[in-house]
Structure 1
Amino acid sequence: MKGFVIKTLINAAAIWVAAWIVSGITLSGTGWGDTTLTVIAVALIFGVVNWLIKPFVKLFSLPLFILTLGLITFVINALMLWLTSWASDKLDLDFHVDGFWAALLGSLIISLISWGLSLALDD
């Protein structure tokens, strides 16, 4: 349980940084507390999307992994972030990704920040 909470908070911080850096990713709220709850909810959705959907997408795109030497991973990560944006919109959360290129850049930033924070907070 502790690992799940830490991973969710790491994803929340990474999503917050991506929304701050990438102009095509908006994360808004009426106040600091509302924005914090929104980003934690988005991190939970992002975790569920990556846990449920990403393995199937990776399995069905296995030939593309071989063909592109794994570079398709960047596209899949961008699509997972874009799907998170869609799900957040359906749940009336104030998180939106405007287009594929914003999703691609945002997913790169999220991956780097998550990786760095995971290394820093590793037991």
Structure 2
Amino acid sequence: MRLILKWLLSAIALLAVAYLYNGVQVTSFGSALIAAAVIGLLNMVVRPVLVVLTLPVTIVTLGLFLFVINALMFWAASGLFGGFHVNGFGAALLGSLIYSLLGLVIEAALGGLFSKR
């Protein structure tokens, strides 16, 4: 139940990013659902490999390179799916920052909702 709710809320967050920032476009809620799933899969499969491969750069930049990796995952998701479009790397960077902040809010809300007592 938690996974489905997080997926739905992530799709809503993606629609919010598209509403708040013109550099990101989402055509419909169905497209947002698919794009949220693609972003989640990329973050689960590709992101850990990139983090390990770029560890020296991440250490030198004191972790700031992780923002670049997040932007690349966001931008890659837009390239894999047609209903979700990002207007370049700068738009991906800002869009991924907004999406990550909304993701933190979602995690906090779900943590309180599904806390083990």
Same fold (TM over 0.5): yes
Secondary structure of 2:90's counterpart equals helix
Q: 1:5: Cα distance to partner?
A: 1.4
Aligned pair 1:78/2:77, yes or no?
Answer: no
Query: How far 1:98 sits from its partner (Å)?
Result: 0.6
Q: CA deviation at 1:7?
A: 2.5
Matched length: 112
Instruction: Give me the CA root mean square deviation.
Output: 1.1
Matches for 1:1-123 after TM superposition, within 5 Å: 2-28=1-27, 35-89=28-82, 94-122=83-111, 123=114
Distance 1:63 1:3 in 2: 35
CA shift, 1:21, in A, is 1.1
**Aligned partners of 2:2 and 2:110 also within 8 Å:** no
- Identify the range of structure 1 (45-54 vs 6-15) with the bigger mean alpha-carbon deviation: 6-15
Q: Deviations over 1:54-103 (max 9, x none)?
A: 010001000011101100111110000000000113xxxx2100101110
- State the TM-score, normalizing by the size of structure 1: 0.86
Unaligned 5+ runs, structure 1? 29-34
User: Which aligned runs of 4 or more in structure 1 are off by greater than 3 angstroms?
Assistant: none
